[in-house]
Amino acid sequence: MEKLEISDVQRNAAKPLYQQLVERLKTMIAGMSERGEKMLPSERDLCRLFAVSHTTVRLALKELEISGLLLRVPGKGTFLAEDPSRTEAEQLVYGVILEELAEGRMTDFRLRLLNGVGQEARRCGVSLMLLSQEDEIYMTLARTGRFAGVLITNPMLPEERLRELKRMNLPLVTVGRPPMRGVAWVDNDNVAAGEAMTEHLLNRGCRHVGFIGLERSFTVTGDRLAGYKRALRNHGLTSHRNLIAFKEPGSRAGYREAVELVNAGADGIVCMDDLIAMGALHGLHEMGRKCPEEVAVIGCNNSSFVEYSFPPLSSLDIEPEKIGTEAIRVLERIRNGMEYQQETLLPFQLKMRRSTER
């Protein structure tokens, strides 16, 4: 490996440190390619060799990965790409900003959403860079013009971040209704979704329907709660505060809330997602309550595991793949200066199973 000179990175220069490091690493890559070497030094070694921070190294490596010069393999290292002559200009990149994973797990909804995003991006000839909203690197990459557009999978991204991204005049789309106007978004009609789930339980004979939502601050929670209340009104029923709960953090989300609702007299429970519904089924089982005979339960997302619950869970399929596909299509229309809708609402389907058969 060629000797690296720390002096090549000038801390007082006008060009940011990570961009200086990019140029230095390009020279290294060219030399490695001539010598048939494949693997770069570790991030820790690069930090030590150039006396720069871990963040600076990561920014530089991400830019070189976008450019097609490097291939980063988790747990293995960073390698020269098969064709190091490919340039950044040949590849458009959309940044995909993901919310922090709950307990480090990717949900079924998010996996299906990203599947749709990836398929449509490949069809459009666009590359994707997945970044966590907890990682400030995505803002640096956006500010320096590395993205052709940004897709945000969590509409509850801090509003100051949304406003800054919008000021950059980047094509910007969120999955779910954002808390501010002027940002394009794609989702289901969550008011109609909440209404449809509640209507289904009412039509099955439930008269004391409870509701378990996600965090109160989420727009999706407010929308589905509004749909729940509308369905009750349409049946001449009143919503009661003691039949409405919001999940607490943790792996048993839905368990405690279901127990509270059943103790308050609920004979049916609308759950914001399938994981909450699974917790509710667990709670009913431990209470000795039969589902659906005594308490019917419906979830949302039609996750891959719901057919294997006991009893199999009725769920609203909001088709995340189609949401992901449409989100990329909207980004493409914005980027190409074409007309687009500020809000795109996609249909959903009710999948009825044993948990609501009464």
Give CA–CA dist 245/251, Å, rounded. Answer: 17
With H, G, I as helix, E, B as strand and everything else as coil, classify residue 303.
Answer: coil
Residue 16, helix vs strand vs coil: coil
Q: How, if at all, do strands 77-80 and 296-300 pair? A: unpaired
Let me know if 303 is exposed, middle or buried by CB neighbors in 10 A (0-12, 13-18, 19+).
buried
Query: What CA–CA distance (Å, rounded) separates 356 from 29?
Result: 60
Domain spans in the chain, listed from the N-terminal domain onward = 6-80, 90-188+321-346, 190-318+350-356
Fold of 6-80: Arc Repressor Mutant, subunit A (1.10.10)
Rg from Cα positions in the chain = 25
Q: Quick check: 209 and 243 in contact, CB under 8 A?
A: yes
Peptide bond into 347 cis (omega under 30): no
Burial (CB count within 10 angstroms: exposed 0-12, middle 13-18, buried 19+), residue 35: exposed
* pLDDT computed for residue 88 by the predictor: 44
CATH hierarchy code of domain 90-188+321-346: 3.40.50.2300
Residues in the chain: 358
Residues 311, 266: Cα–Cα separation, whole Å: 18
pLDDT at position 11? 65
Query: In the CATH scheme, what is the homologous superfamily, with its name and number, of domain 190-318+350-356?
Result: Response regulator (3.40.50.2300)
Cβ neighbors of 130 (< 8 A, separation 6 or more) are 96, 98, 114
Q: What is the structure's pLDDT at 249? A: 57
Residues 71, 81: contact at Cβ < 8 Å? yes
Alpha carbon separation from 11 to 16, 92, 139, 144, 264 (Å, rounded)? 8, 30, 21, 18, 64
Strand 268-271: give its sheet, edge to edge.
244-246, 209-213, 268-271, 296-300, 314-317, 349-351
Separation CA 146–CA 149 (nearest Å): 9
- pLDDT tens for the chain, residues 1 to 358: 444 444 456 666 667 788 888 888 888 888 887 788 889 999 999 988 888 888 888 888 887 876 677 887 777 788 887 654 444 444 689 999 987 654 445 678 988 999 999 999 989 989 888 888 877 788 888 888 889 999 999 887 888 999 999 999 999 999 999 988 899 999 999 999 999 999 999 999 999 999 999 988 889 999 999 999 999 999 999 999 999 999 875 557 899 999 999 999 999 999 999 999 999 999 999 999 999 999 999 999 999 999 999 999 999 999 999 999 999 999 999 999 999 999 999 999 999 999 999 8
**Fold agreement between 6-80 and 90-188+321-346:** no
- Are 193 and 300 in contact by the 8 Å Cβ rule? The answer is yes
How far apart are the C-alpha atoms of 14 and 52, rounded to whole Å?
16
- Residue 2 has a pLDDT of 43
